[in-house]
Structure 1
């Protein structure tokens, strides 16, 4: 061992314990500041840019980009900032003000002591955004966004064979949160199905509501697919099973759709319109 190495070893042995403790505390403080900075940047947004360019994004864009949130449209900030569009939501969502500030990328109040845990605000922000989203997607701007996503096939296709992979749209059977998860509505068979991917099985159906799916095809009738109406007929050795059999087909008329050629411009049967004229 050289004299220089021996001198370094003696210096380390003579080093006081309190110096090591101070260095450990400084390292812990640096780690806490780094974690806190990353959290604020992730959930509240930040305008700070580093040498590599801006690394943050608005909360709404970040939320819609998360896995399992592909069904959501990005609600315009102007819509969220209008108090009229949020009427009644403050009585449904806990920590309403803090959640709204998070959605709008506003800095949280430093002296706020009402919130026990930031994770609670995060859950409230998700619920608040979902209920705002329910109202936004029935507006002209929201319908256009969802129509584009529908045409691009972002919501998937109908599992029914005779629907020939018709695109579906998300919908809910209830308008209040916490009742049922999201379903997928097929405009061809006019039935609803559970999403095939488990990532959507915890997504609340109230975030899409009972109105959107049907209003979409009412405003954009050209999106309704024109597919020949076919109904599966069960058979044994090539012979169709009678409707009077226990395992025979039931209520096939539910699948029948009106031929568009028999309807006038108002949606009435041409025969019924002629009878009214008489």
Structure 2
């Protein structure tokens, strides 16, 4: 996937441009709170969309729908198909946008407000989460939430957010954000150290967390017959931090050690199961 280079650090403002009616409707739809607003100037620059015509059916019409240039003569039955393709196209454009300088700044605002939720682990001190895809290919994996403190990934609590395609955020976003804003890298212990994350997002984050808890559904895929600790440990997905496809070296070395320790623990649990001690 072709990415634009980060050339400037200006954040801009919403008053600098006007987005389409379709984009405003999409962002205001329930369940799309993770998305940020992609500037229409970015969408209209065809260089930024290189290669997407091979991934999206009815590419030209879907792009016209996003930018409010769709011909009114398009039949209703085609419009329903175009809406699905427009969502796919916007999601793939969004994945490219959020790794630009202006896109990172937009997502930083949402991160400070804890719009993506907070880590459920007690020792993470309500660390804000970041969305991440486990693959850049659409229709393969849903979006996950990455904690920069414990370095684990979690499924969104809301089923609406859990159905978002992970390719709409890509595999590079969290660590590219930390690379551009190194002061955001959370400490491994103690309270959240970034003042804006404490002051700016605490109240809003608590409200969102309460709302997310109300919408949470029981994890029926985990609790059931044949449930044991070993199966859960082996089922857990491991996020491998990558920036444009390349693993982050120090984290990759740490993960190899962590996985070796996990495998030993799983073998120990299997042995205890065999002897009926679990």
Q: Does 1:159 align with 2:120?
A: yes
Coordinate RMSD, CA, aligned? 2.4
Q: Does 1:78 align with 2:36?
A: no
Distance in structure 1 (CA, Å) of the matches to 2:20 and 2:46: 24
Distance in structure 2 (CA, Å) of the matches to 1:188 and 1:203: 24
1:155-208 deviation line (CA, Å, top 9, x unaligned): 100112211110001000000100010000001111111001111121000000
1:198-234 deviation line (CA, Å, top 9, x unaligned): 11121000000000111001111111222427xxxxx
Q: Contact 2:132–2:169 at 8 Å: present in 1 too?
A: yes
Match of 1:87 in 2: 50
Q: Does 1:208 align with 2:169?
A: yes
- The structure with higher relative contact order (CA 8 Å, sep 6+) is 2
Match of 1:174 in 2: 135
Match of 2:197 in 1: none
Q: Which has the larger radius of gyration?
A: 1
After superposition, where does 1:1-278 map in structure 2 within 5 Å? Answer: 58-108=21-71, 110=73, 116-228=77-189
TM (norm. structure 2) is 0.60
Unpaired runs of 5+ residues, structure 2, are 1-18, 191-228, 234-249, 251-278
- Secondary structure of the residue aligned to 2:131 is strand
| Aligned residues between the structures | 177
Structure 1 residue ranges, 4+ long, deviating more than 3 angstroms after superposition: none
TM (norm. structure 1) is 0.60
Distance in structure 1 (CA, Å) of the matches to 2:113 and 2:138: 28
Q: Contact 2:150–2:188 at 8 Å: present in 1 too?
A: no
- Secondary structure of the residue aligned to 1:132 is helix
Q: Contact 2:61–2:70 at 8 Å: present in 1 too?
A: no
